[in-house]
A and B are shown apart, each in its own frame.
Chain A
Amino acid sequence: MEPKVIVVTSGKGGVGKTTTSANISVSLAKSGYKVVAVDADIGLRNLDLVMGLENRVVYNFIDVIEGNCRLNQALVRDKRVDSLFLLPAAQTRTKDAVNPEQMVDLCKNLKKEFDFVIMDSPAGIEGGFQNAAAGADEGLVVTTPEISAVRDADRIIGMLESLEIRPNRLVINRVRPHMVRGGDMLEVEDVLDVLAVKLIGVVPEDSSVISSTNSGEPLTFGNSSPATQAFENIAHRLTGAEVPFLDLEKMNDNRFVSGLKKIFRFSK
């Protein structure tokens, strides 16, 4: 398989780009691929925290671009999975510290070393996004089933297409089946109808995402929640595997039944 640079983007903030980037990076690495997760959110870095690698960051990719260190000095190897690396962003610089041409060169160098380069883009459509997308081969657009997020995703897909980045595939994050059922949340079909791009995964709302973020341990390291399975499926689809989509309704019912079982176990 050809090495790929995949930009994870959304337009709107807070929809789960960094969580998605971390989880699919871990899952791909666990499947044996050599993966680097690049935090392209210069000045507001988070990916190191979500991946639990913040203590080991010494250099960042601005240091690489400015020639202060070699690429392999800035890469942080994840000790939990040998083939997983993080290339952190600079926290004390701004988006202007790098330009698209430099990002293209960086991506070319990373593709020589890695099977997958997962580029975690900042929110917005300005310079930060332009830099993150500059060297990308494919786009992973993350949205939530809200009209504001969907409109922003539409904008970002248009921009990715104008940058000749294809295919762009969609992750619909934080879906709450009971709200969809009650007509209070957009259905997956509604989102797809507007955005007209291929769906790569639907991730249910899951409280374990918050605890995993705070503990610096992405779900795909071993959690068995519904969101974990959804992220793992997305990672497998990125490798070209055909994986059926989760039945969120069924999962929801199963969780309800298992919850009832627990209650009855305690009451015995």
Chain B
Amino acid sequence: MSNNYERRGISLKGSGSYLKLVISETLSAEKVWHELERIVEEAGGLLANVGLIVDFGERSVDYNFLSGFIGDFVIKYNLKINSWISKNEDTLNLLGKLALKSSQAADPSVRMNKTERKTLVLKNSLRSGQRVEHHGDVIVIGHVNDGAEILATGNISVCGKLKGLVHAGYDTGEDNVITCYSFEAKQVRLGRKLSTLQNTKSELWNKPVIISLEKDSLLMREIEI
């Protein structure tokens, strides 16, 4: 998901076990320190509890910058760095000399511990263009608007209107369900099955529904409590 830090040249991405800290190459060193302080302040204890992947991108990092980063940021705030990413040859050489583990493919969603399933609770609506990928269950306390997407390895529950695309159980799938308060989506995906709904006059349109896989077919029925 996009976040508020991107505007400042530093972004914090991912959820669950890993967070990726992306530092723009265009940001001056002075601004980097300033923004890091701000991120620590705004993220509170979140940073201390997860492994960080630091992505310098194309930035050419010298020894002074790196030692400042480690001393004034990593040590000072007691952070755990899982790996370092860089596309810059000089930076990679420096990381290699210092025996700091570097990686090119440290995408948080890929590296997430597959055995660990957490529930992600989103306390706002997802707007068009917003996309959430999560290993585990996702609960949305709001709407999923047309053009928004959720991919989850577990179940997906939407407390509001479901108009966007949801894909539950996207890597394993069989036992997962999708629920929503008001079904208004043109397509749903569960495991390896996909269902499209052409007719908005369906009896289930605008109704609270549960979608599950039964006998290898997608079954949608109204939730009656």
Per-position binary interface string of chain A over residues 123-141, scored 1 when its CB falls under 8 Å from any chain B CB and 0 otherwise: 0010000000010000000
> Are B145 and A164 closer than 8 Å at their CB atoms?
no
Q: Which residues of B contact A147 (CB under 8 A)?
A: 146
CB contact under 8 A between A194 and B145, given known A152-B128, A158-B127:
yes
CB contact under 8 A between A164 and B4, given known A151-B128, A155-B127, A158-B128:
yes
> Are B4 and A162 closer than 8 Å at their CB atoms?
yes
Q: Which residues of B contact A154 (CB under 8 A)?
A: 127-129, 145-147
Q: How far is the CB of B197 from chain A (nearest CB, A)?
A: 16
Q: Which residues of A contact B143 (CB under 8 A)?
A: 196
Q: Which residues of A contact B147 (CB under 8 A)?
A: 151, 154-155
Contact of B3 among A151, A155, A158, A162 (CB under 8 A): A162
Interface status of B171 (Cβ within 8 A of chain A): no
Which residues from 142 to 156 on chain A have a C-beta closer than 8 Å to any C-beta of chain B?
A: 147, 151-152, 154-155
Per-position binary interface string of chain A over residues 94-132, scored 1 when its CB falls under 8 Å from any chain B CB and 0 otherwise: 000000100000000000000000000000010000000
Q: Which residues of A contact B146 (CB under 8 A)?
A: 147, 151, 154, 194
Q: Which residues of A contact B145 (CB under 8 A)?
A: 151, 154, 194
Q: Which residues of B contact A164 (CB under 8 A)?
A: 4, 7
> Are A155 and B4 closer than 8 Å at their CB atoms?
no
Q: Which residues of A contact B62 (CB under 8 A)?
A: none
Contact of A196 among B3, B4, B125, B129 (CB under 8 A): B125
| C-alpha gap A163/B6 in the complex (Å) | 8
Interface status of B130 (Cβ within 8 A of chain A): yes
Interface residues of A, CB < 8 Å — how many?
A: 17
Interface residues of B, CB < 8 Å — how many?
A: 15
Which residues from 1 to 58 on chain B have a C-beta closer than 8 Å to any C-beta of chain A?
A: 2-4, 6-7
User: What total count of A-B pairs have CB within 8 Å?
Assistant: 41
Contact of B127 among A100, A134, A157 (CB under 8 A): A157
Interface status of A57 (Cβ within 8 A of chain B): no
Q: Which residues of B contact A155 (CB under 8 A)?
A: 127-129, 147
Interface status of A159 (Cβ within 8 A of chain B): yes
Q: Which residues of B contact A100 (CB under 8 A)?
A: 7
> Are B129 and A158 closer than 8 Å at their CB atoms?
yes
Q: Which residues of A contact B125 (CB under 8 A)?
A: 196
Which residues from 39 to 90 on chain B have a C-beta closer than 8 Å to any C-beta of chain A?
A: none
| C-alpha gap A103/B125 in the complex (Å) | 30
| C-alpha gap A196/B145 in the complex (Å) | 11
* Residue in B closest to A165 when the chains form the complex, CB atoms: B7
| C-alpha gap A158/B128 in the complex (Å) | 7
Per-position binary interface string of chain A over residues 228-243, scored 1 when its CB falls under 8 Å from any chain B CB and 0 otherwise: 0000000000000000
Q: How far is the CB of B180 from chain A (nearest CB, A)?
A: 16
Which residues from 122 to 177 on chain B have a C-beta closer than 8 Å to any C-beta of chain A?
A: 125, 127-130, 143, 145-147, 163
> Are A163 and B127 closer than 8 Å at their CB atoms?
no
Q: How far is the CB of B195 from chain A (nearest CB, A)?
A: 21
| C-alpha gap A259/B145 in the complex (Å) | 42
| C-alpha gap A134/B7 in the complex (Å) | 8
Q: How far is the CB of B134 from chain A (nearest CB, A)?
A: 18
Q: How far is the CB of A99 from chain B (nearest CB, A)?
A: 8
Q: Which residues of A contact B130 (CB under 8 A)?
A: 158
Which residues from 77 to 102 on chain A have a C-beta closer than 8 Å to any C-beta of chain B?
A: 100
* Residue in B closest to A158 when the chains form the complex, CB atoms: B127
* Residue in A closest to B2 when the chains form the complex, CB atoms: A162
Q: Which residues of B contact A152 (CB under 8 A)?
A: 128
Per-position binary interface string of chain B over residues 107-134, scored 1 when its CB falls under 8 Å from any chain A CB and 0 otherwise: 0000000000000000001011110000
A-B contacts, 21 of them at CB < 8 A, read A100-B7, A134-B7, A151-B145, A154-B127, A154-B145, A154-B146, A154-B147, A155-B128, A155-B129, A155-B147, A157-B127, A158-B127, A159-B129, A162-B2, A162-B3, A162-B6, A162-B7, A164-B7, A194-B146, A196-B125, A196-B143
A residues in contact (CB < 8 Å) with B:
100, 125, 134, 147, 151-152, 154-155, 157-159, 161-164, 194, 196
B residues in contact (CB < 8 Å) with A:
2-4, 6-7, 125, 127-130, 143, 145-147, 163
Contacts beyond the supplied A154-B129, A159-B129, A162-B4: 16 A-B pairs with Cβ under 8 Å = A125-B129, A151-B128, A152-B128, A154-B127, A154-B147, A155-B127, A155-B129, A155-B147, A158-B128, A159-B2, A161-B127, A162-B7, A163-B4, A164-B7, A194-B163, A196-B143
